[in-house]
Amino acid sequence: MAEEPIRFAIVGCGRISGYHVEALGSLPGARVAAVCDLVEERARATAQKAGGVPWFTEYGRMLEAGGFDVVSVCTPSGLHPEHGILAAEAGYHVVTEKPMGVTLPPVDRLIETCDRLSRRLFVVKQNRLNPTVRLLKQAVDKGRFGRICYAEVNVFWTRPQDYYDQAPWRGTRALDGGAIMNQASHYVDLVQWLAGDVEEVEAFTATLERRIETEDTGAAVLRFRNGAVGTLNVTMLVYPRNLEGSVTLLGTRGTARVGGVALNRIEQWEFDRYEDEDRGILEAGYTPPTVYGHGHRGYYENVLAVLRGEAEPQTDGRSGRKSLELILAIYRAAEERRRVRLPLD
């Protein structure tokens, strides 16, 4: 007898929710069972896309109605901890989009709540599943780089003013964060996942063109605990379209660069020894439908496996917290014009 599908409710029916609906709809072991959004039109439209499931405009009512096992939180970033805590307290597991929040205390409360109530907490970091990034991580884990000496991350995209004007929370400190917090969040996660934990940072940020509270441009210098140095360069002001989303690793025995518009192309791949996986380098590239890539489906495959006791989570609450802490350290370094050490006080 086939297993019953794991049922998901989605809170927040903005554009990112579409990737969750599509991913869950493609997996035989999962289904969307309910959706919620403050805007009735969005809730109705998402419910229809998910196959005519129940829809709500009040989050509390959806949690009370039940009929699902997991809540996927796709609301503005500053609301992720609150909505995750309410879901866990109502008895549900939690999947939250990146970043987990915009400050650490609410995120810590979310982690503590899920721990105390034995609810699973998953943080979406789907870029780890890109075919190109998987090859890069495999090379790191096998020690092919020797000692990693330098890591560079570039996120050179465009977000015009009308993008921010589509919703009042975009570009705000309380609910969104800036270019590093929002658009570059996955890349901040990847630089530590690949090169190791960061020990200290220096940074500059600026709001140069967009009418928003937060930065549209920033740069940081990173020193890793293993002694390596790195840089993070981010702007949403590229003309006329997204230019580059890349990670470069330089080691004593290897050099690799995964680039393209969103980590979709291997642009450099040289090591002192040939390995079997090197045959697939040319085929690893792909054309992403958007900068979000294809990873939500693979991410949910892991969520399903974890909930069935078949795997460990690829990114849990503590892993998601680590990248948020680095982002906040970058912001503190820029605001206070000084070097900031991690972990934060």
Mark whether 150 and 32 lie in a shared domain: no
Residue 190, domain extent? 129-264+324-341
Q: pLDDT tier at 1 (50, 70, 90 boundaries)?
A: very low
Q: How far is CA 316 from the centre of its chain?
A: 12
Number of H helices, E strands in the chain: 10, 14
pLDDT tens by residue, 148-198: 999 999 999 999 999 999 999 999 999 999 999 999 999 999 999 999 999
Query: What per-residue confidence (pLDDT) applies to 292?
Result: 55
The structure tokens 């699902």 sit at: 68
Q: For the chain, how many structural domains are there in total?
A: 2
Q: For the chain, what is the mean pLDDT?
A: 96
Mark whether 134 and 99 lie in a shared domain: no
CA-nearest of 155, 157, 171, 184 to 78 is 171
CATH number, residue 203: 3.30.360.10
- How distant, in Å, are the alpha carbons of 203, 236, 317, 322 from that of 338? 8, 24, 29, 21
Peptide bond into 240 cis (omega under 30): yes
Cα-Cα end-to-end distance for the chain = 52
Mark whether 29 and 64 lie in a shared domain: yes
pLDDT tens by residue, 119-130: 999 999 999 999
Distance CA 182, CA 173 (A): 11
- Contacts of 241 by beta carbon, 8 Å cutoff, 6+ apart: 158
Mark whether 140 and 248 lie in a shared domain: yes
Mark whether 305 and 233 lie in a shared domain: no
Mark whether 100 and 136 lie in a shared domain: no
| Inside any domain, residue 274 | no
Mark whether 186 and 93 lie in a shared domain: no
Mark whether 217 and 241 lie in a shared domain: yes
